[in-house]
């Protein structure tokens, strides 16, 4: 946020410096003005929009604050990241919402810190052992995901179960990762539709793990 503002102001300052020492000709004025206004305007607008989105997210999270163990509201590839007390992890990267759970080798639920959740949320060092989307996947899991999708407002939905295949630096690194993502063609998935489904989402991820890995359940 600060970086974008600095870049925009720096670029605008360069244009002003050039105008003072090498004034543009009259026919260059429109181009000069756009070259100054556009970067400075965008650099100023981005922090305002970012702060607005963060404040809006905080307001929407207040009803479920007792369920949240930790959260990162900064912008980044994963967007907002929330760790719940029951081990469920929520990420909001753009128009998607992603729910993850991490499991030990025997299927026991792990309860990561925010730092661990961000570090464990990855594809490298893992292999996919199960995938559910549309009609693809074990029928009971497909039916459960479809019902969950409809209750979430009819978005697109997909589920993956992955197994860790390499040594990670954390001694308590998960052996299994189960995740489900929801997306809409037209708008973001609404938080108020997700909140009542949190227990069902947690249960679904456990069922998906058992269906593909034979542990947990």
* Interval 170-205: pLDDT, tens: 889 999 999 999 886 545 556 667 888 999 999 999
CB-CB contact of 103 with 215 (8 Å): yes
CB-CB contact of 1 with 50 (8 Å): yes
Mean pLDDT of 14-33: 55
Q: pLDDT for 133-166, tens place per residue?
A: 999 999 999 999 999 998 887 678 999 999 999 9
SS3 141: helix
**pLDDT in the model for residue 73:** 73
Q: What angle do CA 161, 64, 111 make, to 5 degrees?
A: 40
CA dihedral 112, 114, 117, 118 (to 10 degrees): -160
Tell me phi and psi for residue 90, to 5 degrees.
-120, 130
* Distance, CA of 13 to CA of 214 (rounded, Å): 62
The helix-helix angle for 2-21 and 29-61 (nearest 10°) equals 170
CA distance to 73, 94, 133, 143, 214, per residue, from 139 (Å): 37, 30, 11, 6, 16
E-strand ranges in the chain read 68-72, 80-84, 89-92, 96-103, 126-133, 156-164, 176-183
């Amino acid at each position: 946020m600060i970086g974008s503002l600095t870049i925009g102001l720096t670029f605008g300052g360069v244009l002003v410096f050039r105008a003072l020492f090498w004034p543009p000709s009259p026919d260059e004025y429109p181009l000069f003005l756009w070259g100054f206004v556009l970067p400075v305007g965008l650099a100023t607008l981005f922090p305002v929009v970012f702060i607005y989105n963060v404040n809006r997210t905080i307001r929407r999270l207040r009803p479920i604050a007792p369920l949240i163990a930790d959260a990162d509201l900064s912008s980044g590839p994963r967007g907002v990241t929330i760790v719940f007390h029951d081990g469920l992890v929520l990420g909001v990267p753009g128009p998607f919402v992603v729910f993850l759970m991490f499991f030990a080798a025997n299927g026991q639920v792990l309860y990561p810190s925010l730092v661990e959740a961000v570090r464990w949320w990855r594809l490298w060092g893992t292999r996919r052992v199960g995938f559910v989307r549309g009609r693809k996947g074990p029928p009971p899991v497909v039916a459960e995901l479809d019902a969950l999708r409809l209750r979430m407002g009819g978005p697109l939905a997909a589920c993956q179960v992955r197994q860790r295949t390499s040594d990670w630096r954390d001694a308590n690194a998960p052996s299994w990762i189960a995740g489900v993502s929801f997306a809409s063609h037209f708008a973001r998935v609404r938080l108020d539709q997700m909140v009542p489904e949190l227990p069902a989402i947690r249960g679904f991820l456990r069922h998906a793990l058992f269906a593909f890995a034979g542990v947990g359940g």
